[in-house]
Amino acid sequence: MLRIDKLNFSYGAIKALTDVSLMAATGSVTCILGPNGAGKTTLLQTVAGLLKPSAGSIQFDGENIISLSPSALVKKGIALVPENRLIFPEMTVRENLIVGAYLRLNKMQKSDFKFEIDKIYARFPILDKRSDQLGGTLSGGEQQMLAIGRALMSGPQFLLMDEPSLGLAPKIIDEIFEIIKELKQDGLSVLLVEQNAVKSLKIADYFFLLDQGQVSYQGGADDLENDAHIRKAYLGEKS
């Protein structure tokens, strides 16, 4: 379980997060919705250890992890799929995947490593076909699959995903959300930042709405659909 309590973070004089509290249960998909500039990416980056909040706590399986480095958090089982993918464009698909496992390589036998790579290729067959291709030459959807595969190579228990559907064609978006659904079925916990509330409703167990750095709403899928304001603002329902 991931529990965030009264988290605060500022960029200079600008408060990005104010007393943010939320919980993401083990084995679930927890979705954070919100407009641009709401603090969603900042929140994920604090959980991943890339930013250090000024106050609050982040607990993972009962341990306060707020002071841990990003690499220490990866070792704990937390992996980030960042916004805009951020794959290494001058490295091949296979090399990008190897980077994802860098903290595990010295503990893995060659056969174990091959098994992990083959699992990624089985989940994303297109990456197998593109194994020797430079990451920067892949399509947007292929890069997103590579970013997810790279994170999975770290052997995570909890996957942080920041806008995985951003900038992708509708067909590819469907594929990405199906992948998230499969990851949950495989027992992986997911904390998902998204603006596509319609698609998120089909896979997420619980929702938090972040607005101007604060949690303004929380509830399950049924609660979301039954709230007139949410339906209008996030589900495209007309007045």
Q: Which domains does the chain have, with CATH numbers?
A: 2-86+157-234 (3.40.50.300)
pLDDT band at residue 180 using 50, 70 and 90 as cut-offs:
very high
How far from chain centre, in Å, is Cα 235?
Answer: 21
pLDDT tops 90 at residue 8: yes
**Angle 5-224-213 (CA atoms, 0-180°, nearest 5)?**
35
pLDDT band at 44 (very low <50, low <70, confident <90, very high): very high
Q: How far is CA 5 from the centre of its chain?
A: 19
Q: Inform me whether the pLDDT recorded for 234 exceeds 80.
A: no
Can you tell me which residue has the tokens 């998204």? Answer: 194
Listed residue (205, 174, 215) closest to 19, CA to CA: 215
pLDDT > 80? residue 115: yes
pLDDT digits (tens, 9 = 90+) for 70-80: 999 999 999 99
Given its phi and psi angles, is residue 30 left (phi above 0), alpha (psi -120 to 50 degrees) or beta?
A: beta
**Type of residue numbered 139:** S
Query: The whole model's pTM is what?
Result: 0.91
Q: Are 186 and 198 in contact (CB under 8 A)?
A: no
Strand residue runs (E) in 2-100: 2-11, 14-24, 29-33, 55-60, 63-64, 78-81
| Chain position carrying tokens 């995985």 | 164
pLDDT tier for residue 222 given thresholds of 50, 70 and 90: confident
